[in-house]
Amino acid sequence: MEFKDYYKILAIDEKANASVIKASYRKLARKYHPDVSKEENAEAQFKEVGEAYAVLKDPEKRAEYDLLRAQGTYRSGGSYQPPPDWQSSHAGNRTHSQRTDEDFSDFFDSIFGAHGSGFRQAEDFQRSTNRRGRDLHYKIALFLEEAFVGCQRQIALRVSEPDQNGSIKQRDKTLNVKIPAGVTEGQHIRLTGQGELGIGGGKAGDLLLEIEFAPHPYFTVDGMNILLTLPVTCWEAALGSTVEVPTLRGKVKLKIPQAANSGNKLRIKGKGLISKGGEISGDQIVTLQVSLPKEHSSEAKALYRQLAECESHFNPRQAFER
């Protein structure tokens, strides 16, 4: 049996009020009326529109339908996926002894029975289903420093839940979340019971926080390692030097070896990310980048000429001459 999305049939939003529902029904009823319509399958479309309107115009039927529909999910692109076991959950509602005056579908009967008993069945459905609430997924972007030492963040969610009449309502929810030290990108933190409320006394779902790393001005991440490109002067690279290097734990001294080149990598042990509990510790990998001033003084140019004469035997492009 096909699940019918009455909101889609009437081309309206699930938050539409009674006047919007009525206006859309009238428009579509005129479009598909068998006596005047030239649309393909106009009679079937007309019946489907009438069935959708019969449910959504009735607050009690709409409340019951919304309870069922809220347990489905939306796929990427906006298509609706109904609950996998909705047919078995409603099989007991059907009554074959009588039919309603209107020739509605088996889907309608599976929810409301042959007499469409309305909210009484919605209450029975709530008690009988005892469904756990949906899990919510939320991506949270952290700076590397926050992930390293831990932090507390406030997040805002929009959740769906039934009100006292069984209608599905949207409400805003704000949580203060404590992020432990040592989280890594892609890691999920489960907050039990912070998802959507359950149906019919069922437990609330969970909130799953997925950790993302916000772009950093000079650090990047490779697994548990922190990567840094470090500019050095040509004289620091040629003569060797000791320079200050930023890390997540503050600045440290790094020794640049003599005759260093751009692209050389130096490792600072234990200065990468630390997993929760400290079981795994990464390193900081420093890639050297020899940098020259944009402008040189006349004295500096003279020194470069002198250097060129002293090192005239050195040809970095010798391999190209073979």
pLDDT(256) > 90 = yes
pLDDT(72) > 70 = no
Given a contact cutoff of 8 angstroms between Cβ atoms, the answer to whether 218 and 143 are in contact is no
Q: Which residue has the higher pLDDT, 2 or 189?
A: 189
pLDDT(78) > 80 = no
| DSSP summary character for residue 96 | -
| CA-closest candidate to residue 257, choices 241, 246, 272 | 241
- Intervals of CATH 2.60.260.20 along the chain: 136-213, 219-321
Q: Alpha-carbon distance 146 to 166, whole Å?
A: 41
Give the model confidence (pLDDT) of 218-245 as tens digits. 999 998 899 999 999 999 999 999 999 9
Fold entry, domain 219-321: HSP40/DNAj peptide-binding domain (2.60.260)
Give the model confidence (pLDDT) of 23-67 as tens digits. 999 999 888 887 788 888 888 888 899 999 988 998 888 887 887
Helices (H), the chain: 6-9, 18-32, 42-56, 59-69, 86-90, 106-112, 119-129, 144-149, 234-239, 298-310
Q: How would you label 175-214 residue by residue, b for 16+ Cβ within 10 Å and e otherwise?
A: eebebeebbbeeeebeeeebbbbbbeeeebbbbbbebebe
Q: Which two tokens stand for residue 82?
A: 């109904």
Answering whether pTM is above 0.75, one says no
Q: CB neighbours of 300 closer than 8 A, spacing ≥ 6?
A: 293
| DSSP summary character for residue 318 | G
Given a contact cutoff of 8 angstroms between Cβ atoms, the answer to whether 282 and 225 are in contact is yes
Q: What is the mean pLDDT of residues 199-223?
A: 88
Q: What does the pLDDT read at residue 107?
A: 77
Which of 28-37, 98-107, 177-186 is the least confident region? 98-107
pLDDT(102) > 80 = no
Pick the CATH number of 136-213 from 1.20.120.420, 2.40.100.10, 3.40.190.10, 2.60.260.20: 2.60.260.20
Q: Alpha-carbon distance 150 to 275, whole Å?
A: 11
pLDDT(141) > 60 = yes
| CA-closest candidate to residue 45, choices 65, 70, 28, 66 | 28
Q: Alpha-carbon distance 299 to 250, whole Å?
A: 37
Which of 126-140, 187-201, 253-267 is the least confident region? 126-140
Q: Which residue has the higher pLDDT, 18 or 3?
A: 18
pLDDT(308) > 70 = yes
Q: Which two tokens stand for residue 144?
A: 């590397």
Which of 91-105, 227-241, 269-283 is the least confident region? 91-105
Q: Alpha-carbon distance 36 to 238, whole Å?
A: 89
Q: What is the DSSP string of 111-133?
A: HHTTTT-THHHHHHHHHHH-BPP
- Intervals of CATH 1.10.287.110 along the chain: 6-129
Q: What does the pLDDT read at residue 200?
A: 64
Q: Alpha-carbon distance 308 to 305, whole Å?
A: 5
Q: Which residue has the higher pLDDT, 30 or 252?
A: 252
One-letter identity of residue 5: D
Q: Give CATH for domain 6-129.
A: 1.10.287.110
Q: What does the pLDDT read at residue 1?
A: 63
How many of the other CB atoms lie within 10 Å of CB of 102?
11
54 CB-side CA count, 13 A: 19
pLDDT(120) > 50 = no
Instruction: Tell me the sheet residues that pair with 8.
Output: none
Q: What does the pLDDT read at residue 104?
A: 79
Given a contact cutoff of 8 angstroms between Cβ atoms, the answer to whether 306 and 260 are in contact is no
pLDDT band at 167 (very low <50, low <70, confident <90, very high): low
Is 22 exposed, middle or buried (CB count within 10 Å of its CB: 0-12, 13-18, 19+)?
A: middle
